Structures are given as structure tokens and as C-alpha cells.
A = this chain, B = another copy of it.
Amino acid sequence: MRTIEWRDGTVITVDQTKLPHETVTLKIKTIDEMAEAIKNLRVRGAPLLGAAAAFGLALTACHSKANRKEKLLTELGNSAKILKSTRPTAVNLFWAADRILAKAQDYSGNAEELKMLVIREAQRIADEDAEANRSIGKNGAELINDGDVILTHCNAGELATVEYGTALGVIRAAWKQGKKIKVIATETRPLLQGARLTAYELKRDGIPVTLITDSMVGYVMYKRLVNKVVVGADRIVQDAVVNKIGTFAVAVLANEHGVPFYVAAPKSTFDLKRKAGDVTIEERKPTEVTHFANKPTAAQGTDVLNPAFDITPLKYISAIIHESGIYYKQDFCKFANQI
């Protein structure tokens, strides 16, 4: 099932803030609606943000009244700016917007043809993501053995992508191969993507899943209840993987216990011109930490730190699972040259 689709000039997706209790379909018709959905995490997950940005530009193209190419290019540029101001960390959004802008700028046809081109390119980005995830799943499944218990953090599933998922794609592929695996999902505070989305996806698909709080990762490692970790990524730079807050702690604990730590991500997540120090870590509003379901948990006025992502240096990562193959720690340099 596709998490995001283009249907007659409208982008169809599901409001992920309402899951798993309600399945509310979003019909997004404008770039501002798309930006709002991204900012408020109705649409989230690095690869999905790439497709969402692409479809955002497709909305601009589709509904534009521009009859001159230059005018349309300006409108697309403005829309890209709006998209890029939503969330700074996941690179896929920037990657998709820039890919479409570059293609549009190079195009020699007229305005009407350019509109079609943008819509087709957005569709291609979505299709490529779906395909990449299947390949990631197939490649990653080779790392998974019958009987494995796999820990995952946040949601790198179908809902974080156009289809199938990255980290959960690996788990799905292994499960489909008949490997009897189990998953431990961290709830992923503050926004509970693990509890709300990952546990829900896996349960729905019949894959055994046990939910824990983020604070229990050390315990399950100590008790040897986990023998592999697979997570997704929001941005992979030269020296680190940037992913949902809490990932770094999982990586350090996995290393301490000799548990392999795998990162599954498609090419749209790679940003190998940059290093960890160049990445802006999104700082979100304090009420995500001090409140829960609109109820305060801490005393009023409590100071808060709320980074949405953290940085895991490559030395903690056993292998990266990519649509083109598995790249082990010792081959990261080679890999960097191939992307």
C-alpha cells in the first residue's frame, strides 16, 4: 500500500498524528497545506518527506496559471523555499526539491510541458523510493537469521516511506522469507512514533512485536534479549548517521554488547558533501516534552531541551543497508565514493 499518492491534482496521504487510533485521510491541494502537514508531522519519515516535497512541487505545477516557463520556474522556486523552511534535518526533502528544480531549469519545453514534467518527475521520485525500499529489504534480509530478535527505534516503516519501509522493509523481507523473527520497538519519546506507528504496522502484518520505553534499551541488551538492531536514517553524512533522537544511545548500547547495529537507507538520505557538524538538528517546541496528549506532565515553566535528532558517528555502525547492497564498516570509504 502506498503511503502517499498523486491523484488528479491532489496528494492523498494519511494523517500520521492520528494513528493508530484513527485513520484520517489527508487530501492536500496546495503547497501551504503540504508545508503545514510536514511541519506538524502529519507526513513524516525521511524518505516520505522526499516524495512529499516532490508532490508539493507537483501541486504547484499542476495548479499554476503561469503560461510562461520563467513564471512557473519562479513559482516552483518559491514553493521549494516554503518546503525547505519546514524541517531542517532530513535531507530527502532538500534532495527531492533540488532534483525537481534542476530538472525544470534544464528543460527546454514550454510552460504546459514543464508542468507535466514536474508531475512526472515527482511520480518518478515516489516510484523510485518504493523500489529502493524493496531492494533494501531484499539486501538487508540477508543479514537476518531465523530466530533473531531485532530492535528498532522510531518508525522507519511503510509510514516513513512511499511503500514497504527501510528498517521495517528489512524486517518484512526477512519475515516473508519465513524467518521466525521478533521485533522489539522503542516507543520513541517525545512523539511516540515507535508506539503509535511501528508497533501498529508490525502488529497489523502479524510480525511479533514487543513495545518498550526508550529507557529499557539498556535492559534488553544486558539481558541478551536482542541480537540485532536495524534503524533508518534522516541524513547520512561523511562521518555520521543523523536519525531520530535516541538512536545514538541505542548504537552505543549495541556496541557495548556486541550487537550488530545496521542502518537502512536509500540514496536520497545520503549527503556525503557534509559532515555531522554541518547538519542543523531541529529543535522542536518544549510542550512536546512537558505535555502529553495536551496534559502537562512537568510543572509549568520547566525548561526543556527538545532536539528531534541525534548524531551517531560511523564507528558505531556495523553496516549500511542500501538499495545497491550492504556496506560494512570497513568499506564505508569505498561506499562513499560510489554514491
**Which A residues form the contact surface with B (CB < 8 A)?**
20-21, 184, 186-190, 192, 195-196, 199-200, 203-204, 208-220, 222, 225, 245-249, 252-253, 256, 289-290, 292-293, 295-299, 301-307, 310-311
Q: Show 7 residue pairs from A and B whose CB-CB distance is below 8 angstroms, ordered by the A residue.
A: A187-B189, A189-B213, A209-B302, A210-B304, A214-B215, A215-B245, A216-B246
A-B pairs, top 7 by smallest CB distance, nearest first, are A215-B246, A218-B249, A218-B248, A214-B215, A189-B213, A20-B299, A219-B310
Instruction: Give the distance in Å from the alpha carbon of A293 to the alpha carbon of B298 in the complex.
Output: 13
A199-B299 contact, Cβ under 8 Å, with A213-B189, A222-B311: yes
**Distance between Cα atoms of A248 and B217 in the complex (Å):** 9
Shortest Cβ distance from A47 into chain B, in angstroms? 22
A292–chain B nearest beta-carbon distance, Å: 5
Interface of A is mostly: mixed
Q: Which of B189, B219, B248, B304 contacts A222 (CB 8 A)?
A: B248
**Given A208-B303, A307-B219, residue A21 in contact with residue B289 (CB < 8 A):** no
Q: Are B211 and A189 in contact (CB under 8 A)?
A: no
The answer to whether A289 and B211 touch across the interface, beta carbons within 8 angstroms, is: yes
The 8 Å CB contact of A210, one of B256, B297, B305, is B305
Tell me how far the C-beta of A69 lies from the nearest C-beta in chain B, rounded to whole angstroms.
45
- Given A199-B302, A209-B302, are A245 and B216 also a contact pair (CB < 8 Å)? yes
Alpha-carbon distance A222/B309, docked complex (angstroms) = 12
CB-contact partner of A187 in B225, B293, B297, under 8 A: B297
B-chain residues with CB within 8 Å of residue A292 when the two chains form the complex: 292-293, 295
Q: Which residues does chain B contribute within 8 Å of A200, judged by CB atoms? A: 298-299, 302
The interface residues of chain B lying within 8 Å CB-to-CB of A293 are 292-293, 295
Q: Is the CB of B210 within 8 A of A188?
A: no
**Of all chain B residues, which has the CB nearest A304?**
B211
Q: Are A310 and B218 in contact (CB under 8 A)?
A: yes
In the bound complex, how far is the Cα of B283 from the Cα of A220, in angstroms? 13
Pairwise interchain contact A297-B192, C-beta atoms closer than 8 A: yes
A303 partner residues in chain B, CB cutoff 8 A? 208-211
Q: Which residues of B sit under 8 angstroms from A199, Cβ to Cβ?
A: 298-299, 302
Could you tell me if A252 and B21 are in contact, using CB atoms closer than 8 angstroms?
Answer: no
**How far does the alpha carbon of A252 sit from the alpha carbon of B252 in the complex, in Å?**
8
- Decide: A216 and B305 in contact? CB cutoff 8 A: yes
Q: Which residues of B contact A215 (CB under 8 A)?
A: 186, 188-189, 214, 245-246, 249
